[in-house]
Each structure stands twice: as C-alpha cells, then as structure tokens.
Amino acid sequence: MQPPLCHTTGSPHSLPQCPPLPTSPPRSGLPRPRPLLAPARLAAAALLLPLVLVLTGRAATPTVSTASLIDEMTDLARLAEFPNPAFTCRQFSSYDRKSKSPTEDWFANHDRGQYLRVEERAGRNEFVMMDAAGPGAIVRIWSANPEGTLRIYLDGAAQPALEAPMPDLLGGRVPGLPQPLAGERSKGWNLYFPIPYARHCKVTSDKGDFYYHVNYRTYAPGTAVETFSQARLGALAGRIERLVARLETPRGARGDFSGQVEPFALRLEPGESVSEYFPGPLAFTRAVVRLTATDRPAALRGIVVKIAFDGQTTVESPLGDFFGTAPGINPYATLPLGMTADGEMYCHWFMPFRQFATLELVNHSSVSAQLTGELTLRDYTWTEASMHFHAKWRAAFDVPTRPMIDWNYLTAQGRGVFAGVAFAIDNPVKDWWGEGDEKIYVDGETFPSHFGTGTEDYYGYAWCWPGLFTHAYHAQPRCDGPGNYGRTSVNRFHILDRIPFTQEFKFDMELWHWHAQCQVNLAVVAYWYARPGATDNFAAIRPQDAVVRPLAEYVVPRVAGAIEGETMRIVRVTGTAAPQDWDGLSGGSHLWWHAGMKPGDTLAVAFPAPSAGKYRVLAKFLRARDYGQHQLAINGARTGDPIDFYNPEVRPSREMDLGVFDLKAGDNEFTATVVGANEKAIKAYMFGLDYLLLKPVP
C-alpha cells in the first residue's frame, strides 16, 4: 500500500511521520507554510488511492499509422514519455527568404508566395511547399489565405494521395476530415490531422501567392510507417468520430481522468504561503482551481504556484498565467488548459514523478484570496523514458519596439519535448504588435528549423485579427481593442506537433511592431517536458514583477485640425465608399472607395472651409497593392499629375502637399478619378482618403 500523502506542518490528526520537505524554506518574513490539503482527506487518500499502472516502458518500436497518430492527438499522458519511435519535428513555411542570418535581413517581412521551387505537371505549374524524405508524417497545415488546389504526393507516387481545394481541406469541408480537425478561426485556417508516409512527401499548390506553414515529423530510418490513404478514412470513421467529439469538448468530464480526487479549500493572506508534500511514484492528472478575491486579476498574477518534482523545481508561474491566459479570467477551452466564464480554471497536463513532489502557493499580492478546487492523482510507474513537466514564466516591462529583437520564450538544455506556450502583451497603441516570426532551434541548429510568418500565424489565426476564438489546441481568449490596443492573450499547445530535443531547445519570437515609438509589456509561460536534470534560463519570479501593471486608456490619435475623410459627405460615387478602420491613420479610420471601379470612375466628397480665401491643402492617403492611380482635383482644379497609390503592403502615405487653392466658405469639393493602375498592382483601383488639412495662405 502507498504511504499516506504528507503535509509540511503539524496537525491534531494522527498521521505517520513524513520526511522533511526537500525544498527551500519560505522567503524571509513569510509565515511558515501550512498544508494545502486537509489532513483528514490526506489520510483517507492512503486507503482509497487506486494502484493503476498508466505508463510502462516500450522496448519494441511500434508501427506508425494514421490510426496510431489519431490516438496521440488527445493522449496527454504520452507527452510525459520521450517519443518511441523517436522523431524530429520541423516546419516548412513561406517565410521571407531574404532572412539569411541575424546580420542579414533577419527581420525581412515578405512572408508570402515563397516556395521551394515551381514544377510543371500535367500542363500546370505546381508550387512546392514541402519536400521531405521519410519516414515521417504531416501533423499540421496552416494558411492565412488558402487558395488553389492542394496536392499531397506520398512515397514518390505520380498521383496525389490527397487532392482538394485548399480552402475546403483547411476549412473542414473534405469528407472524412470535418471540423474541428480543420477550420477557420479568426481568419486563420488550420488542418490538424496526421498524414504519415513511409518514404517521401511532397506538398504543392497550383496557386502561388499565399502564406503557409507545414509542420511535419521525420522518424529514424527504418521506422515502420503505414502510408496515409484517403480511401481508408472510411475504415477509421469510428476513431475519427471519437476524436472529433473529444476535440469539440476539450474540457472533458471528471470520468475522463481516473485517479483519486482530493478536494481542497484554503484562504491565502497577503505574504502567506502554503505547501504540500506528495510521496511518489504518482502522477497529477487533473487540477481544478476556483479563486475568490476583491481584485481577482491582482490575485491571479500575484499568487505564484511552484512545483518541485523529485527535488527539482520545474514549475514557477503566476497562478492565472499558468492556466493559459492573463491577466484575469478569460474563458476558453483547450485540451491541456482552460477557464470557464464563472472563473473555474482547469489543468490536464500529465505530471508524473518518481520519488516525491512538493506544491507551494505564495501570495505576493496585497489582497486576500479564497481558493477551492481539487487535485486528481493516480499511481505511476517511472521508466527510462519518463519526463518531468515544466512550466515557467517570464515577463519584460516597457520594452521598446525599436530596434526589433528576438524575444526569447524558452531556452532549455537536456532531453525532452516542447509542448506549448501562453503569451500575453500590453499594447498601448491600436497598431499591430505581432508582425514578428517564430524561430525555433533544436539541438544546436544555427538556422531555425521552425521559421514562421507572423506571431498570430504561429498561434493559428491571421491578419492580426482581434476576434476571440477557442479550439482544443490554440486560442485567443482576450483582445481588448479597439483594434489591437490593450491586453491580448493567446496560446498554442503542441500535442501531435510536439517538438522533441535531445540536447537543447531555443524558441525566439520576433518583436516586430508596426508602431516604431512605443513600449510594450510582455509575459510568457512555456510548457515542456524533460528528463530529470534538465536546465533552463528562467530566473526566480520577483514579487515586484508578479503584478498587473496599469495601462493607459486608449486615445484615438488625430492630426490637429484635420478634416477626416471618413466624416466627409459623399456627393457622388461609382461603386462603394464607406469608412474603414485602419491602424496608423488619423482617427484610426479612412474613407475607403472600392468595389466595381474602373478607369474613368469618380468619387466626389464635400469638405468645409472656415472662410473664403486661399489655402494650402495637405492630404494623407492609404496605399496598398490593390489601390489605383488617381487624378485628384479640388473644386475642379487638378492638384497636379495623377498619383500612384500602389504599395506591396498596406501602408499610410506621407503627408502630401496638393497645392494652393481658392476655397469658398462652407462646402468645397474634392474628387478622385481612376486613371489606371501600376503594372504590379491588382487591378481593383481602390482609393483611401485619410484626411485633408487646410493651411491659410496670407
């Protein structure tokens, strides 16, 4: 029989003597730690805890198949065991190929339409997105703007094993691969379904101007892999139905997590700590926490959870951040972590230990907190493949947005697997903060084997979209707005696409902000597993950092005296003209003329002058790759030659001097007439007026 779970302070209940707590004593000035679980419940656990064998060593290397990989997609316990058969996980993407090294265009940003090569097949061009020798398996495909027909060729076959319109495949509309295995969320399209191959894989599209990621495993030579066949999806229908059901309800039910359930209830005062000792071998399989406090965001950031497994502290994070989103309660549901609208937080990370574990909560905040919940534990057999769970937090405050930097999420040494991150940012402006790419280095790589196309792309959405979403593997639980102003929280968990490492692991994310002159606050929790003795670069959390820093209220930036385009009365127009929000413009918006335009069409708007006289007219516009060449005029007088508003990326123009004009008191007329388009432009002839600014001429 297992010895009873033990606590760290005396109790009126009679319990067997526990070994000393093998962690450092509480910080100076803190009360002596008291037990997290009630002693009576701990004694009962000794009698009731079932002896369930959950993990054993696997001497034989199993065959990899679509069925076996489907089973991995919801098996969180498997994360705690180094993969057998062993594999690497890498990524092909459309990152800007100008990025050669940290000293050569490292932050280049043309991350679309980049491929390995173009091949001609059956009279068509196919853009090669991936070309990899096997044995292996595709484990994720993402795009911001899927187009064309996607073809996946396996083992050198002339005909694709899977062929479908890319929006259908990534949108969950291909038979046998329904949502939520695939789908669009906040403008990002993801397919999470395994496509194994024995010898080789090539992925192509017959369209060439889109963003993409293809994440894939490569197994050791000789690994037995059963190649994917679309025809066999029918035979897997029952397995796929069960997978779909589990991904649709990632929170699960208590019955999904076998083991002894231990309720707890405690009050944690400012400056106080509590701790608990658990003799092994055991595994935590589930935790549920509910917190009540007068300032819940402050308590969730100020209460730090620390867990030591077998004498090594591998978890140290503010409580709310640990549960995958911060600050405060922001509802979402993924497989490993989630929060409900009523404030219940759950954790499904599987956490085994061989000898003992200690769990400590320290309240660095200035508010009292009441915590209730439950822990679920079960028996465990430790093997040479077993790994400890790690979760560490770091934050940086008032970080300038220039120069651009690679901000480190995690650097670790040892043998393990990377399993995900939860990231939070405080953004003081409406402009997009996440243009930067992920860069992941494994086992001494000098160039990252994951090089992405944008921060939001890594998190599985796109186009800096502020819409909230949740999925079993990724979520955006918070985005305050307007636009991308305020506090944003995102996460992504690598289950099927986990990344093994045998020596070291490094994850950097570019800080690439559209606004060059602001400061942001950053916080990240990294989740990974590693064999005992692994090290990382996280420092102990300082009490002064475990706070929610104030964020100034958003003030819409406006150019003093500007007449905003979006406020002007439309006199006549062909097509459609209406206000459109856009970061970086005065008032955060412009008058957008679009839809059904052709050369010769005209937009006319009325703008006021305070009195009759001569005025120098200044103006600012929006430029983009689908904008046209336009002849501008004021009260019928041309402002000069036509202006070309083409630009490869969407960007505001400089403030332009349109000249000096005689204006009448009251309404005057500004017109833009389509005359053509740049040869590089998409021929949509669009036009965007940010503002006019009148300067009286003496």
Q: How confident is the model at residue 32 (pLDDT cuts 50, 70, 90)?
A: very low
Q: What is the pLDDT of residues 468-504, one digit of tens each?
A: 999 999 999 999 998 899 999 999 999 999 999 999 9
- Residue 108 pLDDT > 80: yes
Amino acid identity of residue 361, one-letter, is L
Q: How confident is the model at residue 350 (pLDDT cuts 50, 70, 90)?
A: very high
The confidence score (pLDDT) of residue 555 equals: 81
H/E stretch holding 68: helix 66-72
Do 1-48+250-386 and 563-696 share a fold?
Answer: yes
Burial of residue 644 (CB within 10 Å: 0-12, 13-18, 19+) is middle
Tell me the CATH class for 1-48+250-386: mainly beta
Strands 589-594 and 602-609 turn out to be unpaired
The confidence score (pLDDT) of residue 482 equals: 86
- Residue 234 pLDDT > 50: yes
Q: What is the pLDDT of residues 304-332, one digit of tens each?
A: 999 999 999 999 999 999 999 999 999 99
Rounded mean pLDDT of the chain?
Answer: 91
Q: How confident is the model at residue 37 (pLDDT cuts 50, 70, 90)?
A: low
Q: How confident is the model at residue 551 (pLDDT cuts 50, 70, 90)?
A: very high
CATH assignment, 563-696: 2.60.120.260
The Cβ of residue 560 has, within 10 Å, a number of other Cβ atoms equal to 6
**Threshold 0.75, pTM exceeds:** yes
Burial of residue 8 (CB within 10 Å: 0-12, 13-18, 19+) is buried
Q: What is the pLDDT of residues 263-312, one digit of tens each?
A: 999 999 999 999 999 999 999 999 999 999 999 999 999 999 999 999 99
- Residue 27 pLDDT > 50: no
Q: Which two tokens stand for residue 566?
A: 């979006």
The confidence score (pLDDT) of residue 7 equals: 33
Look at the domain 66-248 and name its fold: Jelly Rolls (2.60.120)
State mean pLDDT over 137-150: 97
Contact between 377 and 284 under an 8 Å Cβ cutoff? The reply is yes
Can you give the residue ranges of every domain in the chain? 1-48+250-386, 66-248, 563-696
Q: What is the pLDDT of residues 373-424, one digit of tens each?
A: 999 999 999 999 999 999 999 999 999 999 999 999 999 999 999 999 999 9
The span from the CA of 251 to the CA of 510, in Å, is 32
Alpha-carbon distances of 184 from 169, 170, 212, 393, 467, rounded to whole Å: 11, 7, 14, 30, 12
The confidence score (pLDDT) of residue 483 equals: 85
> DSSP labels for 605-629?
EEEEESSSEEEEEEEEEEEBTTB-E
- Residue 369 pLDDT > 50: yes
- Which residue is it, tokens 């526990």? 18
Q: What is the pLDDT of residues 191-223, one digit of tens each?
A: 999 999 999 999 999 998 999 999 999 999 999
CA atoms within a 13 Å half-sphere pointing along the CA-CB vector of 115? 18
